[in-house]
Amino acid sequence: MSASDALIRHVGQRSWRVVASAAIVAAAVLIPASSALAVVPNPPADGSAPGAELVTTVLGWLKWAGLAAALAGLLIGAITTGIGHFGSNYSASSAGRKWLLGGMGAAILSGLAWTIATTLFTATGG
């Protein structure tokens, strides 16, 4: 390949990059502008949807099931860590620590679920 062919190839790749960059910038400018023009109405929820009471009941069950699972994870982890420690079994002790961390994480998520949901709801304009 001659030097002139290499130069032509390099300039072609460079111009392609410039065109692609310009297209990305144009899309980044035009897409938000077009979405700002299309305003979708967001009526408030009045709680009279069919099945709203059932959904509330199921969410309550899920809350208690999540807390029960977190407690079970903590208990299983504590028992497994104890058995692994006193039985000089490192792999059982390591698995128990993982169960403990999982139980703690589940308890934190279950406890903060309402706060996370309401924060996201109000942050999106609800």
Pairwise pLDDT comparison (64 vs 28), residue with the higher score:
64
What is the C-alpha separation between 37 and 22, in angstroms, rounded?
23
Q: pLDDT for 18-50, tens place per residue? A: 556 666 666 666 666 555 555 666 666 666 777
Q: Which token pair is 97?
A: 């620590």
Of residues 13 and 83, the one with the higher pLDDT is 83
Give me the helix-helix angle, 90-123 and 52-86, nearest 10°. 150
The closest alpha carbon to 94, from 74, 106, 77, 111, belongs to 77
The residues near 100 (Cβ < 8 Å, ≥ 6 apart) are 73, 74, 77, 78, 81
Q: What pTM was estimated for this model as a whole?
A: 0.54
DSSP string, 56-109: HHHHHHHHHHHHHHHHHHHHHHHHHHHHHHHTT-HHHHHHHHHHHHHHHHHHHH
In the 8-state DSSP scheme, what is residue 34?
A: H
Q: What is the pLDDT of residues 69-117, one digit of tens each?
A: 999 999 999 999 999 999 999 999 999 999 999 999 999 988 888 888 8
Measured CA to CA in angstroms, residue 71 lies from 37, 57, 61, 120 at distances of: 50, 21, 15, 27
